[in-house]
């Protein structure tokens, strides 16, 4: 007996379509735990903060949690009038621009140098990675100690060599306070940037360099015309990762100076922390963090687009 074609195909078809239908569901099953946790730990607190930023909520006075439409923008008006916040906001941006770019220039030089080293590559990478073993908290305490006015190694060393006669309050004075923080932050992060750029340099195709060599291009020309353009995607990754990190800077500043003295080294997030935790002014702190998070997200989106563009070119 010859089977009717339809009776054979129908179950196969049914199986096929069930399989196709499950294809729509399966990725969501995979993502369910991730989305649940992010909703609980990031999205819920953000929604909560958005609400609170429109109320005068003070943690010590629960009745201030109530929403009053006539005064909903009060916190946002207040932060625009707050000179400390505005200064901290721009200080953060300048701090980010300066440290990230300095880091990048130093890391670029180091990566080109390390790529040319012929012996002890293992040792040299270990040396390079030593600062990466330190948690940001450790780096903060360590540099707070080095720059300490009374027992710090920097004063101590400079005075025993005779370069200085009276101790300097590095973390208190302007502008050495923010410089010291920048130095600590750069010390910790130059290795990461260097490794990204070194990985990029080592992955560049050798044929291009051989061809340039034959054409008589100088080392500088090769660097400008070959290395730099081909390294572009790696540079963007390094700059993206680092800018986002520095934009969120908190640990090192909190430990070295806590934004002080008198807000001299305040960055956005130490000020938000101070408002929310020390002063209990959660409404105002939320408005400040909303403004900063939105600026941060816009900046992230911009960097991601640049990154995606350079990926396409690759």
- Candidates 100, 107, 171, 198; binder of another protein (CB under 8 A) is 198
Least distance from C-beta 259 to another protein, angstroms? 12
- Measured from the CB atom, is 88 or 237 closer to another protein? 237
Q: Does 105 bind another protein (CB under 8 A)?
A: no
- Among 1, 12, 34, 163, the residue binding another protein under the rule CB under 8 A is 34
What distance in Å separates the CA atoms of residue 195 and residue 220, rounded to the nearest whole number? 22
- Considering only residues 11, 116, 216, 278, which one is a binding residue for another protein as defined by CB under 8 A? 116
Task: Residue count of the chain, please give it.
Answer: 314
- If the CB atoms of residues 98 and 295 are measured against another protein, the closer one turns out to be 295
114 lines the binding site for another protein (CB under 8 A): yes
- Give the nearest distance from C-beta 205 to another protein in angstroms: 8
Q: Which two tokens stand for residue 269?
A: 């997030």
The count of chain residues that interact with another protein, using the rule CB under 8 A, is 105
Residue 278 interacts with another protein (CB under 8 A)?
no
Helices 228-247 & 282-313 angle (0-180, nearest 10): 170
For residue 160, the minimal CB distance to another protein (Å) is: 3
Q: H/E/C letters for each residue in the chain?
A: CCCCHHHHHHHHHHHHHHHHHHHHHHHHHHHHHHHHHHHHHHHHHHHHHHHHHCCCCECCEHHHHCCCHHHCCHHHHHHHHCHHHHHHHHHHHHHHHHHHHHHHHHHHHHHHHHHHCCCCHHHHHHHHHHHHHCCHHHHHHHHHHHCCCCCCHHHHHHHHHCCCCCCCCCCCCCCHHHHHHHHHHHHHHHHHHHHHHHHHHHCCCHHHHHHHHHCCCCHHHHHHHHHHHHHHHHHHHHHHHHHHHHHCCCHHHHHHCCCCCCCCCCCHHHHHHHHHHHCCCHHHHHHHHHHHHHHHHHHHHHHHHHHHHHHHHC
Residues 164-193 that bind another protein (CB under 8 A): 187, 190, 192
| Contact set for another protein, span 39-78 (CB under 8 A) | 40-46, 48-49, 52
CB of 110 to another protein, least distance (A): 7
If one asks whether residue 304 binds another protein (CB under 8 A), the answer comes out as yes
Residue closer to another protein by CB (options 116, 166) is 116
204 binds another protein, rule: CB under 8 A: yes
Q: Binding to another protein by residue 80, rule CB under 8 A?
A: no
Q: How far is the CB of 139 from another protein (least distance, A)?
A: 9
Stretch that binds another protein, among 5-13, 68-76, 78-86, 157-165 (CB under 8 A): 157-165
Show contacts with another protein in window 215-254 (CB under 8 A): 219, 222, 227, 233-234, 237, 244, 248, 250-251, 254
Q: Least distance (Å) from another protein to the CB of residue 96?
A: 13
């Amino acid at each position: 007996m010859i089977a009717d074609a339809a009776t054979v195909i129908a179950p196969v078809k049914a199986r096929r379509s069930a399989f196709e239908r499950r294809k729509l569901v399966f990725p969501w099953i995979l993502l369910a735990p991730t989305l649940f946790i992010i909703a609980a730990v990031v999205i819920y607190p953000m929604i909560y903060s958005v609400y609170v930023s429109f109320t005068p909520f003070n943690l010590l006075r629960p009745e201030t949690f109530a929403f009053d439409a006539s005064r909903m923008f009060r916190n946002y008006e207040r932060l625009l009038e707050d000179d400390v916040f505005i200064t901290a906001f721009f200080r953060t941006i300048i701090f980010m621009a300066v440290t990230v770019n300095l880091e990048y220039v130093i890391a670029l030089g180091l990566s080109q140098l390390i790529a040319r080293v012929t012996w002890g590559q293992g040792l040299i990478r270990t040396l390079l990675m030593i600062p990466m073993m330190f948690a940001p908290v450790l780096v903060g305490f360590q540099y707070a100690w080095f720059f300490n006015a009374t027992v710090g190694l920097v004063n101590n060393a400079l005075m025993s060599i005779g370069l200085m006669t009276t101790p300097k309050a590095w973390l208190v004075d302007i502008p050495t306070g923010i410089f010291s923080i920048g130095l600590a932050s750069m010390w910790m992060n130059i290795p990461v940037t260097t490794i990204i750029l070194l990985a990029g340099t080592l992955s560049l195709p050798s044929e291009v360099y051989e061809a340039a060599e034959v054409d008589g291009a100088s080392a500088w020309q090769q660097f400008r015309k070959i290395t730099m353009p081909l390294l572009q995607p790696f540079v963007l990754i390094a700059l993206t990762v680092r800018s986002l990190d520095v934009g969120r800077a908190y640990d090192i500043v909190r430990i070295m100076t806590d934004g002080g003295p008198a807000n001299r080294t305040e960055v956005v997030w130490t000020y938000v922390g101070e408002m929310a935790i020390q002063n209990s002014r959660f409404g105002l702190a939320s408005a400040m963090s909303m403004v900063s998070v939105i600026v941060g997200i816009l900046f992230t989106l911009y960097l991601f687009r640049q990154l995606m563009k350079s990926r396409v070119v690759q």
